[in-house]
Chains A and B, each alone.
Chain A
Amino acid sequence: MDLTLYVWRQNGPEDKGKLEQYEAKNVSPDSSFLEMLDEVNEELIHSGIEPIEFDNDCREGICGTCGCVVNGIPHGPQEKTTACQLHMRQFSDGDSLTLEPWRAKAFPVIKDLAVDRTALDNIIQAGGYTSAYTGEVGEANQTLISKPNADYAMDAAECIGCGACVAACPNGSAMLFTSAKIAQMAVLPQGEIEAAERVNNMTEAMLNAGFGNCTNHYECEAACPKGVSVKFIAKTNREYVKALAK
């Protein structure tokens, strides 16, 4: 199939940036979205144009490195799918695609479609862990965790940290990302002790990093390639209220 691409080109953080038009010819419907970009880049290289820069690594939907906004939707039109797992058969011959980077105050553009997501790391550093030293921590089966709680924690822990939730949110909020970690830890006995401190520190770090707050648009859940639920935001709000009382 043949496609027309409008790709955001920005030569560094200071550059103003603009959309450039490229043709993607003879695209195999079996290729992934990123493989389609690889082929466009090969063509650009041969015509002496600098290839499009985009972040990617595992190409199996788990590392969270890739992602761009395709026709206004983070990671493109297919539900619960990262850009690397999106395949070209989702599109039709003759389609036009507009490719833009994640747009959020907290994610400055590095080049073209690549953005700096260090702000997400900063949120985890503020408290997204249990304070367990490596060493003799006690036998694993001494602490029982009910299956529903373990499953709930795992549902939250599925987050791959890609930032699509931020890109989708009209407020540029990282509330889904932050909440997923808060909720995972709050529901486990290992994380419960530090729950109050964690919810305060992490939400504060989120706001300090330049992310907006949550006003319940639920765009984040719709964009999330792992289907992380907004119920974790509700859980975080409860944890926040509980922390106020402490």
Chain B
Amino acid sequence: MILDGKCPTGPIEKSWDKHRFDMKLVNPANKRKFKVLVVGTGLAGGAAAATLGELGYKVEAFCYQDSARRAHSIAAQGGINAAKNYHNDGDSVYRLFYDTIKGGDFRAREADVWRLAQVSNNIIDQCVAQGVPFAREYSGLLANRSFGGAQVSRTFYARGQTGQQLLLGAYQALSRQVKAGTVTLRPRTEMLDLVVVDGVAKGITVRNLVTGELESYWGDAVVLATGGYVNVFYLSTNAMGCSVTAAWKASKKGAYMANPCYTQIHPTCIPQSGDHQSKLTLMSESLRNDGRCWVPKRKEDCDKPAGEIAEEDRDYYLERKYPSFGNLAPRDIASRAAKEQCDDERGVGPGKRGVYLDYQSAIDRVGEDTIRERYGNLFDMYEKITDENAYKQPMRIYPAPHYSMGGLWVDYNCMSNVPGLFVLGEANFSVHGANRLGASALMQGLADGYFVIPYTIGNYLATVKPGEITTEHAEFAKSREEVQGRIDKLMNVNGKRSVSSFARALGKIMWENVGMARSEESLKEALQEIPKLREEFWQNVKVTGEKGQRNGQLEDAGRVADFLEFAEVMTTDALHRNESCGGHFRTEYQTDDGEAMRDDENFCYVAAWEYKGEGKAPELHKEPLKFENVKLAIRSYK
């Protein structure tokens, strides 16, 4: 089937304005008759729930955390992009649009990205009005900094905690609506099924994570803003609770999963220190402004302290390979280069999976105080985790899974192919193509939540009779039974192997075969291994505790079970895409000098996968990508 993204036609700079006018509206008096369920309270979900509440809809907002303020958007460090052109350095909506399309390696929809760039400025205005304490100049004006993938200064920030401050802004707007009575919060609930009635999304089944009860909720529309899935690799920069579960349940109920093979591996993370490790911590990309990446030239030097390796015995591999960009090569390229060195057995630190990020020459140049001023908080964080002083010896870093560009397929209105199911933020696939630029995730989450869904959901609800289907409908009971059946099945396996050991095993398969570099061989290997592990899981997993109360093991077991199914679709997508683009690097498809080689003739489309049942191959649907405003070009960073 050829999918239609329903993008507006005509000149792109008028597309969103025209579309806003063309959409149907819901009368203010009628809005309170509609109920909207919002799952996830990060930047996208929190902003959506707050704004829909302000408009007068009845909103119920769900999150697995104990408070709406804790969604993982909170961990974003760097900043948020907007095309304000405050620095008079040539920025414009068009340039932000162009940079984002190019950064995504020409695998995103033009119209969606244009809209994102257009509303980026409204986001900054909105956040300032909420009291978000952005960094300021002594003049009292907002400060900006530069970020990867752009030649202009367009990134707004709040120290190293931009995500936290933006999320608290959305959370506070949400809190105001709770007081106003338009929004009901349901923290500590996890969505375990989408209820679809006659092909239309009408509600969800959740597990109350305190009582263990299954609960049904109906809504005239369901909004998923449930984040990304890179915890499929087990070790990632995501929070422990981040999972594909909500999106995957929707996928099993008919929503298509788009481009799941597009995952971002961030180059500067603190390497794993041992088997006890539960997550990886990101160190801001800004560190590469002054740090130099190197590994020893000779394998036998790898165990020596860094200081004992002479200058001529060091391989500054990024400077060697990419003389013009050097240590500031983009994320996907820098990550792959680090992996290459370690694969060549020249990695450093425990397990030899690490490279040095060295500040000595910067300290010699500008002095330790200046470096402390620029990066002091990051050096402190590094010391807390590794017990090493990065002023005295080089940092060790290694790439780690960070973000998923793929996600549920949505049209221009952020609605999936299941009518009534909307998907926002990292959970959808829409704007980042095959690679996301820094400071764009926060922009997308808030754009979708504050400025897109409030319009597009009205266009849908105007065609729906409010409250027509409630939890009395038989589909809700059926859904609860199915979910209960799966929980009972998990509890009853009563095997010998812990949940986390399966999560680690899956992560290993995915990281080794579907990670930074993939080949037909490795992907086929993964497609052999995943079903085997899944089978063992259902025969040998041990879930302790009771289902009728708080049970962290049961929560994790459900998430791992879903990852074990999703991983196969992700791998299938990676195997079918016989090209390299952005974060998807197939070793067979590279130029002579090792760069990603796209195949625009055969793969310039969105791959949307339809779930066909357990053990059955998913069906591929394509949405062709048309580029009318940007010319397809090759990305080079030499």
Contact = CB atoms under 8 A, between A and B. Distances in A.
B273 A190 contact: no
B128 A121 contact: no
Nearest to A130: B131
Interface string A117-146: 110110011111111111111111101111
A116 B66 CA distance: 8
Contacts, number: 211
Given A38-B500, A188-B131, A30 B175 contact: no
B278 A141 contact: no
B194 to A, nearest CB: 24
B436 to A, nearest CB: 19
Given A57-B239, A124-B172, A130-B130, A31 B140 contact: no
Interface stretch (A1-9, A153-161, A206-214, A215-223): A153-161
B101 to A, nearest CB: 25
Interface in B204-235: 210
A137 B125 contact: yes
A57 B65 contact: yes
B338 interface: no
B544 A124 contact: no
B72 A57 contact: yes
A57 B140 contact: no
Contact of A53 (B131, B161, B542, B550): B550
A145 B384 contact: no
Given A56-B240, A150-B134, A144 B139 contact: yes
B359 interface: no
A28 B276 contact: yes
Interface residues of B, number: 79
B274 A150 contact: no
B275 to A, nearest CB: 9
Contact of B128 (A29, A58, A190): A190
A161 B167 CA distance: 13
B279 A60 contact: yes
B233 to A, nearest CB: 15
B131 A144 contact: no
Nearest to B171: A124
Nearest to B451: A134
Nearest to A158: B161
Contact of B54 (A35, A133, A140, A184): A133
B384 A87 contact: yes
B274 A30 contact: yes
B561 interface: no
A118 B75 contact: no
A117 B139 CA distance: 40
Contacts of B86: 141
A20 interface: no
B142 interface: yes
Nearest to B178: A125
Contact of A138 (B68, B125, B385): B125
A134 B187 contact: no
Contacts of A50: 544-545
A151 B137 CA distance: 11
Interface string B157-184: 0110100110010011101101100000
A145 B479 CA distance: 52
A35 B272 CA distance: 13
Given A35-B276, A62-B161, A63-B75, A45 B498 contact: yes
Interface of A: 11-12, 28-32, 34-36, 38-39, 42, 45-46, 48-51, 53, 55-65, 81, 85, 87, 89, 110-111, 114, 116-118, 120-121, 124-141, 143-147, 150-151, 153-154, 157-158, 160-161, 184-185, 188, 190-191
24 contacts: A12-B550, A28-B274, A30-B273, A31-B273, A36-B276, A38-B500, A59-B240, A62-B75, A63-B239, A116-B66, A125-B178, A126-B179, A127-B179, A129-B130, A129-B173, A131-B176, A134-B51, A134-B454, A140-B128, A147-B137, A150-B133, A150-B134, A157-B158, A161-B67
Interface of B: 47, 50-51, 54, 65-70, 72, 74-75, 84, 86, 122, 124-131, 133-142, 158-159, 161, 164-165, 168, 171-173, 175-176, 178-179, 185, 187, 210, 237, 239-241, 273-274, 276-279, 281-282, 381, 384-387, 450-451, 454, 498, 500, 542, 544-545, 549-550, 552-553
Given A38-B500, A154-B165, 18 more contacts: A30-B386, A31-B277, A32-B278, A45-B498, A59-B239, A63-B70, A121-B67, A124-B69, A125-B178, A129-B131, A129-B173, A129-B175, A129-B176, A132-B129, A134-B50, A137-B126, A154-B135, A188-B133
